[in-house]
Amino acid sequence: MSDGEPLVRWQWIGDHAGELADYTGVHLRLGLLPVLFGLIISVPLGIVCHRRGWLYAPVLTVANILYAIPSLALFMIFVNYTGLTERTVMIPLTLYTLSVLVPAVVDGLASVPEPVRQAATALGFGPARRIVQVELPIAVPVVIAGVRVAAVSSLSLVAVGQLIGQGGLGYYITRGLQLDFPTPIVTAIALIMLLALTTDALLVLAQRLLTPWSRSKVTTS
């Protein structure tokens, strides 16, 4: 970097506001859709693991092994099948969320007090209706704690996708390196962190709205 170049040239941000907004939208899509897909997979999988305890250990092991595969390597492996597309970034990110979301669903269901379960059964709730109307709502705080971790990690991982040309705001990180110009890099990092922290705050808010009875104890882990 040349001497005297400031860390941020505000002028550049002003000139690129429209473009930055477009990439921010792409970034949100690439980062958050995988969390949604992950949740769609994890809720039924978690319910099954909760019902059939012996299934949980092998499922968790597979999820942890998937999580251990580096994102860059996993992107490369999928390039062969899905090309340099958004899917190539979103499939690995979806797989990563499982190692957080499946335990979150299982722990959430395990947090339902036994008397509550029995009371629901006594009131005539069948297994399916009991899961949907009683157990899952009680599991919401623990599940959302997992969703927060998954969403924040996913949004910051998207940037690596730029190495296959699909990185949302990661575009500005490689651009800044090519131009030897720090402003786009700093802007991209700041925007990505802003997206992650805003998402986190919105999820905390969502949890309060969804579970008005547990407003006093919000847990994070």
Q: Which residues bind other proteins (CB under 8 A)?
A: 1, 7, 57, 64-65, 67-74, 76-77, 79-81, 148-149, 152-153, 155-160, 162-164, 170, 173-174, 176-177, 180-182, 185-186, 188-189, 192-193, 196-197, 200, 220-221
The nearest distance, CB 169 to other proteins, in angstroms, is 8
The nearest distance, CB 133 to other proteins, in angstroms, is 27
Interatomic CA distance for residues 32 and 45, integer angstroms: 20
Contact 27, 155 (CB under 8 A): yes
The nearest distance, CB 156 to other proteins, in angstroms, is 4
Contact 14, 77 (CB under 8 A): no
Residue 181 zone, left/alpha/beta (φ > 0; ψ -120 to 50; rest): beta
Nearer to other proteins, 133 or 198 (CB): 198
Nearer to other proteins, 26 or 125 (CB): 26
Interatomic CA distance for residues 56 and 67, integer angstroms: 16
Nearer to other proteins, 120 or 161 (CB): 161
Greatest CA separation found in the chain? 75
